[in-house]
Amino acid sequence: MKTTPITEIKALLSEYIRKVKSGQSFTITDRGLPVAMLVPVEAPINSYEHMMDLVNSDLVQLPAAPLNKIFLLEPDITDKNERSLEILLEDREESRTQSS
């Protein structure tokens, strides 16, 4: 990886972008200190192929059946008896009396 001052990168950015597209990488320095890297972007991962690689490596197991649509819905967490706060406060009080 080549080291290049930021002033040169700024002055010749298009040229450096062409070099990076061809596979070169650069460490960018500011007053001699490395501050960034200019590197080619990796090819995006094909998610299906990646998943199948994981399956074939026995790192992931495909589901036996599709998920039920209800599974993806938000759970109903309403307090039908309206006692949640009361129970929480009782529990806290018990904890305080036990630790005293």
Nearest alpha-carbon partner for 1 in 31, 32, 36: 36
In a domain, 30, yes or no: yes
Q: In this model, does residue 22 exceed pLDDT 90?
A: yes
pLDDT digits (tens, 9 = 90+) for 31-88: 999 999 999 988 777 888 888 999 999 999 988 888 888 877 877 777 777 788 888 8
In a domain, 23, yes or no: yes
In a domain, 15, yes or no: yes
The whole-number average pLDDT for the span 88-99 is 86
CATH code where residue 22 lies: 3.40.1620
Note down the domain range covering 14: 2-38
Show Cβ contacts of residue 94 under 8 Å, excluding neighbours closer than 6 positions: none
Strand-pair partners of 3: 27
In a domain, 49, yes or no: no
**Tell me, what DSSP letter sits at residue 65?**
S
Structural domain count of the chain = 1
In a domain, 63, yes or no: no
